[in-house]
Amino acid sequence: MASIESKDIHKIVVACDAGMGSSVMLAGQLRKQLKGSSVTVEHTPVDRIPADADVVLCHVALADRARATAPGKPLVPFQIFIGDPAVNKLVATIKSGGTVNA
Amino acid sequence: MATAYTPTVYGTGIKATVQRLGGRLAGMIMPNIGAFIAWGLITALFIDTGWLPNATLAELVDPILKYLLPVLIGYTGGRMVHDQRGAVVGAVATMGVVVGSDVPMFLGAMIVGPLAAYLIKLVDGFTESRTRAGFEMLVDNFSAGIVGAAMAVLGALGIGPVVQVFTTAAGNGVEWLLHHNLLPVASVLIEPAKVLFLNNAINHGVLTPLGSAEVADQGKSILFMLESNPGPGLGLLLAYLFFGPRSMRSTTPASMVIHFFGGIHEIYFPYVLMKPRLILAVVAGGAAGVFTFVVTGAGLVAAPSPGSILAYMAMTPRGGYFGVIAGVLAATVVSFAVAAVLLGFGRGSDDETPGGTPAAESTETAETTGPTGPTGATGAAAATETRDGIEPQQAGTTHTITDKDGAPVMKEA
């Protein structure tokens, strides 16, 4: 399991199948929630997660593919697209400090 | 959690592989959907039966369909394999299959684009270490040119005609299904595959190319509407709104807007995955929608992507609104009715404590009440023991995956 200190998180990548639909939506939500912090949020296809991602977010059904594309990276799988506790927790951790274990 | 994700048909490894393969097919089409829509709009407006018939502008229709769209697909497919050089060679090779057949060569482009790119990738690997300093540009340009030209010739003489046979056969198969009223059965495959995140693979990897070829013949195609109908998902979400677990109801209206108007169907997949029996609702809704489309002879002129009602209306040919709207409505009503029954009309949802976060709550419910009681309980116990709030999710997920693979449960967590 990978873990990362919240102060070391600079880029969050939200991944979905095509990198065009649901990931764009969630990335937009996250950007709003993280406004004011230095963290950038990107969206990509799950098969093309960039190497400079610090934390990867994707739906649990795509988690296997995300692990294959970005092995060893902290991966936060979520289940629902609005108000998922895993996503909320990540945002809270980034804002208030702490460790992301994922 | 084990019960919440019930993709039983595929093992997790196979599922990921199928998703990835499908993702590649869809990945060649999806970046180019804008061009498909441009073509759809031009067609809907300017052909004889369009809104603003105009012979001069209608000249655009044929070349875009036969040349531009396949070349874009071949270009994108090549880029996926070997970046810009792969893209260029893939585009050149695609011209070969385009010229070598009489039908729109989407399928051919999806084969020959990546294939040509793979070839130039091999060639590059071979020449890279052997090229003398100062000759790199000469070698690079001519290797790409030679491979591109060779693949175009091969495409025109060999691959194009072969793929044409397949494209025609696939088209005939669809015709046959249509004539025998069997197309609604497709929903039995499509709807479950959709919630396993194979939605793009099916729609853009398979149906969009076939549908676009059909439009060339008949001016519209029903194939665009098999996967992308927003009706079944809307019906499901409506059922959740009225009869779902109380804690879920507050987020449902926002989900409905994103799904039905924004066209992001992924938003409703979790609602099915949480209560897998609801798959029956979207299957029934999907089949009812397709049946209505078949009966009314409905079709769209290009892929409605994303699958929003707004995209549907924009891609409906002149005079075709009745069938399209009827099919979406029928799918919504049937999906809603079946989902409402399966949710027991809201009975039993009140005993779930309000408050707390929706997903956590439903997750716990699924875990404690699911058929796989013992393993589910393990996951729940682990979740409560972990101190970090992110962990329960992770623990449950890992648990689910490893559980299916038969590997030690909770290994990673």
> Distance between CA atoms of B187 and B338, rounded to whole angstroms?
15
What value does the mean pLDDT take over residues B278-291?
Answer: 95
> Looking at residue B186, what is its pLDDT?
87
Pick from A63, A81, A99: CB nearest B267: A81
Least confident of B60-64, B267-271, B382-386: B382-386
pLDDT, mean over chain B: 80
> Looking at residue B321, what is its pLDDT?
93
Considering its fold, how many domains does chain A have in total?
A: 1
CB contact under 8 Å between A18 and B357, yes or no, is: no
Rounded to the nearest 10 degrees, how much is the dihedral formed by the CA atoms of A67, A72, A76, A81?
-30
How close B100 gets to chain A, by Cα (Å)?
31
Chain B residues near residue A1 by CB distance under 8 angstroms: 394, 412-413
Chain B residues near residue A20 by CB distance under 8 angstroms: 30-31
Residue A17 inside a domain? The answer is: yes
> Looking at residue B104, what is its pLDDT?
81
Residue B374 above 80 pLDDT? no
Most confidently modeled range among A29-43, A59-73, B25-39, B229-243: B229-243
pTM: 0.74
Q: What residues contact residue B69 under an 8 Å CB cut-off, 6+ apart?
A: B32, B35, B36, B39, B104, B106, B212
Give the pLDDT confidence of B264-275 residue by residue, as tens digits: 998 899 889 888
| A-chain residue closest to B410, CA distance | A1
CB proximity B99 to A under 8 Å: no
Least confident of A19-33, B4-18, B139-153, B352-366: B352-366
pLDDT-based confidence at residue B298 (cuts at 50, 70, 90): very high
Residue A76 φ then ψ, to 5°? -110, 105
Least confident of B104-108, B111-115, B291-295: B104-108
Residue A21 inside a domain? The answer is: yes
What value does the mean pLDDT take over residues B365-391?
Answer: 37
* Stretch 240-259 of chain B: residues touching chain A, C-beta under 8 Å: 251, 254-255, 258
What value does the mean pLDDT take over residues B94-118?
Answer: 90
ipTM for this prediction: 0.81
Chain B residues near residue A99 by CB distance under 8 angstroms: 388
pLDDT-based confidence at residue B12 (cuts at 50, 70, 90): low
> Looking at residue B73, what is its pLDDT?
94
pLDDT-based confidence at residue B392 (cuts at 50, 70, 90): very low
Is A58 an active-site residue? no
How close A13 gets to chain B, by Cα (Å)?
17
Residue of A4, A56, A59, A60 to mutate for B, most B C-beta atoms under 10 A: A60
CB contact under 8 Å between B258 and A63, yes or no, is: no
Residue B266 φ then ψ, to 5°? -50, -30
pLDDT-based confidence at residue B383 (cuts at 50, 70, 90): very low
Give the pLDDT confidence of B223-281 residue by residue, as tens digits: 999 999 999 999 999 999 999 888 888 888 988 999 999 999 988 998 898 888 999 99
Residue A102 inside a domain? The answer is: no
Residue A30 inside a domain? The answer is: yes
> Distance between CA atoms of B142 and B213, rounded to whole angstroms?
34
Residue A86 inside a domain? The answer is: yes
Residue A47 inside a domain? The answer is: yes
Residue A54 inside a domain? The answer is: yes
Instruction: Count contacts between A and B (CB, < 8 Å).
Output: 123
Helix (H, G, I), strand (E, B) or coil at A11: strand
Give the pLDDT confidence of A64-84 residue by residue, as tens digits: 889 888 888 999 999 888 888
CB proximity B41 to A under 8 Å: no
Residue B306 above 80 pLDDT? yes
Chain A residues near residue B412 by CB distance under 8 angstroms: 1
What value does the mean pLDDT take over residues B206-211?
Answer: 87
What value does the mean pLDDT take over residues A18-27?
Answer: 88
CB contact under 8 Å between A61 and B390, yes or no, is: no
> Looking at residue B292, what is its pLDDT?
95
Range of the domain at A80: 9-93
> Looking at residue A1, what is its pLDDT?
61
How close B202 gets to chain A, by Cα (Å)?
12
Give the pLDDT confidence of B324-369 residue by residue, as tens digits: 999 999 999 999 999 999 998 877 554 443 333 344 434 433 333 3
> Looking at residue B394, what is its pLDDT?
37
* Stretch 274-303 of chain B: residues touching chain A, C-beta under 8 Å: 274
pLDDT-based confidence at residue A56 (cuts at 50, 70, 90): very high
CATH code of the domain covering residue A80: 3.40.50.2300
Residue A101 inside a domain? The answer is: no
> Looking at residue B100, what is its pLDDT?
86
> Looking at residue B259, what is its pLDDT?
93
DSSP string, B225-289: HHHH-SHHHHHHHHHHHHHS-GGGTTTHHHHHHHHHTT--GGGGHHHHHHSGGGHHHHHHHHHHH
